[in-house]
Amino acid sequence: MILLVTDPLYRKKGFATKLLQGVLLTTEFIKVRKIFLEVSKQNRTAFEFYQKNGFFIIGQRKNYYVSQNNVDAFVLMRTL
Q: Which residues contact 45 (CB under 8 A, 6 or more apart)?
A: none
> Is pLDDT at 3 greater than 90 in this prediction?
no
pLDDT (tens digit per residue) in 11-54: 899 999 999 999 999 998 999 999 999 999 999 999 999 999 99
- C-beta atoms surrounding 76 within 10 Å: 21
Are the CB atoms for 73 and 36 separated by under 8 Å? no
Report the pLDDT value the prediction gives residue 32, as an integer from 0 to 100: 93
Report the pLDDT value the prediction gives residue 69, as an integer from 0 to 100: 93
> Is pLDDT at 2 greater than 90 in this prediction?
no
Q: Identify any residues that bridge with 61 across adjacent strands, giving them in sequence order.
A: 73
The amino acid at residue 34 is K
